[in-house]
Amino acid sequence: MLKRRIIPCLDIDQGRVVKGVNFKGIREVGDHIELAKRYENEGADELVFLDISATVERRKTRTQLVNRVAKELSIPFTVGGGIATVNEAKEVIDNGADKVGVNSAAVRNPLLVTQIAERLGAQCVVLSLDIAETNSGYRLAVKGGRELTNIDALEFIANAESLGAGELLLTSIGKDGTRSGFDIKLLREAGVRTKLPIIASGGAGVIEHFTEVYQQTKVTAALAASIFHNQEISINQLKESCKRQDIPVRSL
């Protein structure tokens, strides 16, 4: 039986792990390799690294990051953050990442997804979308959730597979950092529009939020950052709770 995945996310700024609340008020939490190893040993199924540094040195620091992580980890990991060209995506994969996350650049230019998939395979393209609920429905946001677009999020999701995406990482901006649970409504709406695996993101606060999202939606994975970084819940505990409710998860 295919397991539901639990994915800690590490936001990295110039080599340090940080975590924002509602994408603002960024707070530093520690060394990324140390944290990544801890998650691997606790039973994390995959890891996501989001490079949020916006320096001219970004490409170089990202390559160094990927290299180091690849040497230390033996579970799959995704690297995203500011990837705007096929060459940048290739650099990330060549240095040892399994998947590359594309966000703002792919929203502006969806063909980027197609080009990366043609070059590196759809299995490594994680289309990462920041979604806000507005009076006129769900809209995509770019630039780390700071800039709202007029693009209909659900339509974009419906087209994602034909563009070449292999997986969707859907972050609810309204839920992110609130610790009030995943955006069940959004994830359900998304789930009926695509056959792609969906990673739920934004809003995890307690263990029950994970069991709820697995039971009430078809997402194959759930992602969280601060509740893991602050050691409020351990991945092990989380998996035990899932097992008690017959949600298939991987044990070590």
Partner 1 sequence: MIAIIDYGVGNLASVRNMIKKAGGKAKISSDPEVLASAEKLILPGVGAFGVGMANLRERGLDTLIKERAAAGVKILGICLGAQLLTDYSEENDCEGLGLIPAKTIRFDVADQGLKVPHMGWNNIQVSQSDHPLLQNIQANPRYYFVHSYYMKCDDQADELCSCDYGHSFSAGIAKGHVAGMQFHPEKSHVVGLKVMGNFLSW
Rounded to a whole number of angstroms, the minimum distance from the CB of residue 17 to partner 1 is 21
Residue 30 or 121 having the CB closest to partner 1: 121
Cβ neighbors of 93 (< 8 A, separation 6 or more) are 100, 120, 124
Q: Please identify which residue in the block is written with the tokens 């859907």.
A: 170
Rounded to a whole number of angstroms, the minimum distance from the CB of residue 95 to partner 1 is 7
Q: Please identify which residue in the block is written with the tokens 């399994």.
A: 98
Tell whether residue 244 is a contact of partner 1 (CB under 8 A): no
Residue 1 or 56 having the CB closest to partner 1: 1
Tell whether residue 174 is a contact of partner 1 (CB under 8 A): no
Stretch that binds partner 1, among 30-38, 117-125, 138-146, 149-157 (CB under 8 A): 117-125
Tell whether residue 88 is a contact of partner 1 (CB under 8 A): no
Tell whether residue 240 is a contact of partner 1 (CB under 8 A): no
Residue 51 or 167 having the CB closest to partner 1: 167
Residue 104 or 201 having the CB closest to partner 1: 201
Rounded to a whole number of angstroms, the minimum distance from the CB of residue 44 to partner 1 is 10
**Catalytic residue list:** 11, 130
Tell whether residue 68 is a contact of partner 1 (CB under 8 A): no
Query: Interface mask (CB under 8 A) for partner 1, residues 153-172, using x and -?
Result: -------------xx-----
Query: Interface residues with partner 1 (CB under 8 A)?
Result: 1-3, 5, 40, 45, 67, 70-71, 74-76, 93-98, 120-124, 166-167, 195-197, 220-221, 250-252
